[in-house]
Amino acid sequence: MENIYHHWEKVCLVDIGETAVIPQGISTHVKRSKYFIAGGIAGAASRTATAPLDRLKVVLQVQTTNADILPAVRKILKEDGILGFFRGNGLNVVKVAPESAIKFYAYEMLKTVIGDSRGDKKGDIGASGRLFAGGVAGAVAQCAIYPMDLVKTRLQTCASEGGKPPKLGKLTKDIWVQEGPRAFYKGLVPSLLGIIPYAGIDLTVYETLKDFSRSYILQDSEPGPLVQLGCGTISGALGATCVYPLQVIRTRMQAQRTTSGVAYNGMSDVFWK
């Protein structure tokens, strides 16, 4: 497990994912101000580059029948044109900075608390401690920025009015007035439930693949950057696939309006429908 975090220290100093565990020792490599600037820029660039896929994913997730890619693409193009694939991206970019900041500070605080409880003043809390601290920090950050995530989902799933997407301010106000403040946290539970399993699967598979490559392919040599990248890609994809049903449940709960009369009655209702 230790090798995983040493690898993350070298190639993943900035955590811009929604469910990834924060790498150990990040504060020893970069100053906090540089971390936030780099994280904000990297997050904005990566989320803008993948915005069309994100919009398409959300549109497909809320469909209960005929969830095919080509019809969804045609629908987006017909309603909003090319720019329709970037709907909600501005809000997605804006939440990068506070999400990274909260996750980073929560992680550092938890790491200190765990280290003090174990009597270790050097800050080495072990792999299990870092996994726990990273998972809890991710959950705290998720709770803090979740209303923005819900509004983004609503923005991406709302039908265009007269060929124009809904206004962000009006959409937010309608949620507050018509559904109440609690509506901003619809789907939070399945979102939180997916954080720890994702991190655990990702780390376990990465370690297994890395050990396999070292033993059977590289003949006890340390894996290079390309091998590590391949292991990380496979482990991340597998982790995301395993928790994907929870993401679908979260998205459908976020997109469902209480005033529509067809609201889901909790996670199990979404699952069976």
Q: What is the pLDDT of residues 119-132, one digit of tens each?
A: 765 556 776 777 78
Residues lower than pLDDT 50 in the chain: 1-17, 19-26, 28-30
Burial 156-190 (b: 16+ CB within 10 A, else e): bbbeeeeeebbeeeeebebbeeebeeebbbbbbeb
List the one residue out of 40, 37, 32 whose CA is nearest residue 104.
32
pLDDT for res 9: 40
pLDDT for res 133: 78
**In CATH, what number does 29-185 get?**
1.50.40.10
Q: Are 229 and 269 in contact (CB under 8 A)?
A: no
Cα(170)–Cα(89) distance, integer angstroms: 17
CB atoms within 10 A of CB 30: 15
pLDDT for res 7: 40
Angle (CA) 25 201 148, round 5°: 70
Distances (CA, A) of 247 to 20, 125, 172, 178: 15, 30, 22, 25
First to last CA, the chain: 39
H/E run at residue 103: helix 96-118
pLDDT for res 2: 44
Q: Token pair for residue 96? A: 């990068």
Burial 103-131 (b: 16+ CB within 10 A, else e): bbebbbebbeebbeeeeeeeeebbeebbb
Report pLDDT digits (tens) over 116-171. Answer: 787 765 556 776 777 787 778 888 888 999 999 999 999 998 887 766 788 889 99
Q: Token pair for residue 53? A: 């896929």
| Sequence spans of domains, the chain | 29-185, 188-272
pLDDT for res 8: 39
pLDDT for res 221: 72
